[in-house]
Amino acid sequence: MQVGKFVREYSLRSYECDSNGTLRIVALMNIFQDVADTHAQILGVGMENCLAKGLAWVGSNYHIKINRMPFWHEKITVTTWPAQEKKLGAVRDFCITDEQGNVIIVASSQWVLIDFVRKRPVALREHMPDYQVVEERALNTEFPKIDTAAREDIKKSFIVRYDDIDVNKHVNNAIYPLWATESVDNDFRLNHQPAEIEISFKKESLYGETIEVISQIDGMISLHCLNATDDGREVARVRINWRENQPA
């Protein structure tokens, strides 16, 4: 099956924007998940198709570059496509443009197909319909390793809420960068926005757990290690390159 790109337009609503009137990080991640799920359903590899076979897509990496965040009421166009196939998973890319056609955000994500019961990866071609990827990258990345924090400049804890949990019964991918961006100095956060975000998902985290975020801040770059306090397992690492807030 030949696969094309999937395109969807969004008009940003007030509750999707932060105190600066720009799109929230968690809302951006939710938009990525929305278009990806819709396109996957069209291709026959969506959540319902997978669950019926006892399978699930699990995110392993995100790499996002932000030229600027869109503003409240702004209309954006989001394009997504499967950009690369691997034995046990796939790469899906995203491109967001403004009303003038300017590229404002690009991203790439890496996903692994797992047996939901056994919690083990399975071969993609043995379980999914045959389709051709679009051999084009929105962001040329190989998802480089994110170093662990060498210092504990800031430590914050978050309790996993019911609303943080998705249909796979664990913390939704959108929550991890939210915790990371909340784990810097308050004044710094109020005056800066992420320009680049890299996320490496390690282990699932569950409702009611406490997640401790250890952060190392070096100028405009922050490293964040997210660990569950009950057993010390690492659930994610995040690296953020920051810039000062842009005027509306």
Element (H, E) at 186: helix 186-191
Question: 152 and 56 share a domain?
Answer: no
Listed residues 124, 141, 158: the one ending a domain:
141
Question: 189 and 209 share a domain?
Answer: yes
Element (H, E) at 240: strand 234-244
Give the C-alpha separation, 13 to 73, whole Å: 6
Give the C-alpha separation, 160 to 208, whole Å: 5
Give the C-alpha separation, 72 to 240, whole Å: 23
Question: 186 and 199 share a domain?
Answer: yes
**What is the per-residue pLDDT across 45-82, written as a single tens digit (0 to 9) for each?**
777 777 777 887 888 999 999 999 999 999 999 999 99
Q: How many CB atoms lie within 10 A of CB 80?
A: 27
In this prediction, residues 99-106 reach a mean pLDDT of 98
> Cα dihedral angle (53, 234, 228, 165), rounded to 10 degrees?
-30
Please check the confidence at residue 117 and state whether its pLDDT lies above 80.
Answer: no
Listed residues 112, 141, 170: the one ending a domain:
141
Give the C-alpha separation, 12 to 157, whole Å: 30
Which of 130-139, 197-206, 232-241 shows the lowest mean pLDDT across its residues? 130-139
Q: How many CB atoms lie within 10 A of CB 13?
A: 11
Question: 203 and 92 share a domain?
Answer: no
Q: Is 219 left (phi over 0), alpha (psi -120 to 50) or beta?
A: left
pTM over 0.75: yes
CATH of the domain at 210: 3.10.129.10
Number of domains in the chain: 2
Question: Counting Cβ atoms within 10 Å, is residue 225 exposed (0-12), middle (13-18) or buried (19+)?
Answer: buried
Q: Is 164 helix (H, G, I), strand (E, B) or coil?
A: helix
